[in-house]
Chain A
């Protein structure tokens, strides 16, 4: 017991006042209070997004239900675009602001830009309502109604729309922008919650298969709350060790102390639990497949792409800014996590029958790859991580966008018996079972080609963004001395190529399902999804064929401020 106290006394965060009274501290603080200087320009991207979200809430409050959709779409898209412009305008910035709570540097700006672009594409998917003929709304008419109840049918019939998804998404985006920029652990925690809470809700709002959707929301929420408790405990322990939650102070405390102790090591481990949960690393990955499968597909796309960027951004900042002194302690642990993540992701994906679940395991696998960049602890590692996050994010949004377009066909007039055999076949929910994708290449060659591009990118085939990204990551890892990890990574890639290519084979070389006379339907989306799909395909190929600009950008952005 006394050991702990003495360690605390020796800890550099508090050199003079080991058992200091609260009262004394209070008086010092009140006496010397000065308003912190806030550099608003650096915070503009976040402020704009949060502002747009607030406007969205006001729209919900004051506009009638039927007239909310377009204002919401307009405000959200405008907010994200304006925020992106601010990010671009801030390029080259390197400063901390708001009492050092937020640091705006290359990594922050690159990741914020990536998150905003991904959010823009995801918003297009979320805003998809289909053309006049087919209703492709992914969200339930009214979240509060019970699935299958009369209330739900009434809400459906009234044509209600859940437009709350837009402000919710914007709040989440705001949290994501803050997470990689957070320069102290308190801000990190708040950002983590701000990005997570709206996501929990969004997961539960699917229009079809609402039971699954609600189950996903509950699982995500309970496990997310559980993990953030660990994160917070880690924050508390590090605070106890360093006497401050600012990342640079923690770094100083670690380097100036001759020996690290239980507090800091346990704190780092618990902090890692929270972060690794968000990126979906093994053994904190269990929620990923269930939630990705159950959530509405546009939200899955958003989560899979943008959350990963934000969480890895935070992981990078904490490991590179606060914990470089403990490198030799956390690296072996992350080695183990990375190996497990890559192997579990690759192996489990092989036996999946559901396309969304398969993509979820692919997300886990990719989290493992990205950990290689974090582990390498070089600036090359940072830049390759940044590049890979962007490349992976775009391909993921695109892949899920394709998933939203392959629908089950529901026979209309089922109650009219045999007479209704040949009439109306209506569009149902997404046909996520892999068997439904057989022969897609013949029915819808363009869509199948798009999906092929994404699968090839995930598999890391040259001339796609995945190859460039993996190449950069693996080189960085080898430079950082982590060649055994690279070997595991390559083995995992080989196994992974199997299930990615299997989908391609299925689409092009298998006979379509014909037993019920009507296989799945490929729906024609409104321009929103079309734009998102086109942009993601173009970027996936462009980042493979002409990666130089993006690589240079990532190289230039690979710097932190303390």
Chain B
């Protein structure tokens, strides 16, 4: 079984290759092949998981060395060794199960969702490509290969956000996502370079094993660069701005990439690199700050958006903020970060698919103010969406309760003032989450119809989606309900991850709190959030056109001026800088380069004339060359 690890990313990669190279010939069965590749990969992942269960202790970590790509033995201090090798341990197996499992469901969902799209085959090839890249990312046993996967998911995400590239907004969103991600990628590449310089290797084993020997400053620098990378990929403050726009992509993409899997790559990166963060409290503190800011930021944005997907995007940002916060807390939080990541993968994917189903039924309307009363028309969608809703707000015994509650508890138990602040932020986040999610459910499924006829005057006819869409939603709902409970039985999940993340440190809650009282406080906060939303939206009429709202609402609608900030703080000065640089470049550097180019070109033009076409002049050059050769070798000696 161990030798099959490469097939896990291999299958979707082959799928993507066949679909892309096969072109139109594969139109008829392309989507089925895509699903098969994803399912096959899932089956393999499951098989590997059970193999792992059959083993104990250190044997659970499996390795597969495929080949070394350009090994350079013995040059200089650090032999350069770029390997393509996979490592499957307790952490990555969780990820590959999540990625392939949720991925397969979303593949199946897309058969129905994209059935009217002429480019469905291409869509599936991109989805497969994404799966392959994401699996390489989590299976890599060194940072360089991880970087390959990292860039791969970036590419797939770009292609999928811009899938409807005819829409200018989609093309712009894809570009934005790509550019913002690039900032993070630079962070990762700098981190990798630093690692190579410091440890002489990219290998997880070597890096983590020798991390203790490096200076604190270097480790902090590496940690900060890794955090920057995580911020880019996971849409954390200050690189959060692309995620909302990314909702221009088809909804399954939002569910797969921008909710369940890709955006969690940052969390994976931090937890995977815990050996480095463990040694650098400064870097860890920064991580928690980023997490706390983002979780509030996302939640506030989620409250104000009327676009159902953008509201969910804000929610994603906020939930990943929780995970990053947990990861930053160190040994007390790593396992919960991953646990929340998995439960979030289920319920957020379910919510997105539900939103997609609603849009499918409502002629691609995304404005929640134009929904209302859909409960009766789409019972399955409503049911699954509601279960996801209960999970995300942390209502016991749904999965979100177990994971989020633990994170809040861990934040408080960090101790000191920072513990109070972080815990408070997390608690406030839970309240806001309850508010915006209740608002979303009420506006979509309850109240009266506020449907708006389309341009030609047709009333929308909401209908339940086909089975291929309903089934994944049902399965994900099961996950949203049960995952948390299963994971926390006997601390199963925490124990499972312990060999990777190190033994879990038990935090001590401050100020006479204990975990029961904290749970009650959290639930109370959630109840308050729900109550406010019900009062505000459930009792009165929801206006079809958004009221102007308060200062905060206006700000939140504009993503808390994230874009404006980027524009003012980065883009304008950037443009100014670029213009100055272009000017200097044109005048100075280009002058030199152009001069050089002209010189080379001129030399070339002149030398060309030496190639006269006359045999005798060629012979002369040979004769002269021979004479020069003899003379040189003799004079060098004499």
Interfacial residues, chain A to chain B (CB-CB below 8 A): 218-219, 222-223, 226-227, 230, 260, 262, 265-266, 268-270, 272-273, 277, 282-284, 286-287, 289-290, 329-330, 332-333, 336-337, 344, 347-351, 468, 471, 475, 478-479, 495, 545-548
Contact = CB atoms under 8 A, between A and B. Distances in A.
B72 A283 contact: no
Given A230-B626, A272-B629, A286-B617, 16 more contacts: A223-B618, A226-B619, A265-B637, A269-B626, A269-B629, A273-B625, A277-B622, A283-B625, A284-B625, A287-B618, A289-B611, A329-B637, A330-B633, A332-B636, A350-B604, A546-B69
B633 A269 contact: yes
Contact of A286 (B70, B72, B605, B618): B618
5 contacts: A260-B637, A266-B634, A270-B629, A479-B75, A547-B70
Q: Tell me whether chain A's interface is mostly helix, strand or loop, or mixed.
A: helix
Interface range on chain B: under 10, 10 to 19, 20 to 34, or 35 or more? Answer: 20 to 34
Contacts of A270: 626, 629-630
B460 interface: no
- Give the interface centre of B69, B624, B625, B637 by most chain A CB atoms within 10 Å: B625
A329 B636 contact: yes
B600 A350 contact: yes
A202 B191 CA distance: 57
Contacts, number: 103
B168 interface: no
Contact of B636 (A222, A333, A337, A468): A333
The 3 nearest A-B residue pairs measured at CB = A283-B625, A286-B618, A269-B630
Nearest to A347: B604
A226 B634 contact: no
B594 interface: no
B600 A329 contact: no
B322 to A, nearest CB: 39
B179 interface: no
Contacts of B510: none
- Give the interface centre of B67, B69, B70, B633 by most chain A CB atoms within 10 Å: B633
A336 B621 CA distance: 16
Interface in B599-638: 600-601, 603-605, 607-608, 611, 613, 615, 617-619, 621-622, 624-626, 628-630, 632-634, 636-637
Given A269-B629, A333-B633, A219 B615 contact: yes
B71 interface: yes
B86 to A, nearest CB: 16
Nearest to B75: A475
A540 to B, nearest CB: 16
A425 to B, nearest CB: 28
Contact of B622 (A268, A283, A336, A546): A283
A478 B74 CA distance: 13
Contacts of A282: 625
B508 to A, nearest CB: 52
A69 B628 CA distance: 48
A273 B626 CA distance: 6
A219 B618 CA distance: 9
B40 to A, nearest CB: 24
Contacts of B206: none
B601 A350 contact: yes
B595 to A, nearest CB: 15
Nearest to A282: B625
Nearest to B74: A479
B21 to A, nearest CB: 11
Given A269-B630, A347-B600, A479-B75, A226 B67 contact: no
A333 B632 CA distance: 7
B68 interface: yes
A495 B600 contact: yes
A332 B634 contact: no
A223 B615 CA distance: 7
Contacts of A336: 632
- Give the interface centre of A226, A329, A347, A475 by most chain B CB atoms within 10 Å: A347
Contacts of B75: 475, 478-479
B622 A226 contact: yes
Contacts of B69: 545-548
Contacts of A286: 611, 617-618, 621-622
A330 B607 CA distance: 27
Contacts of A277: 622
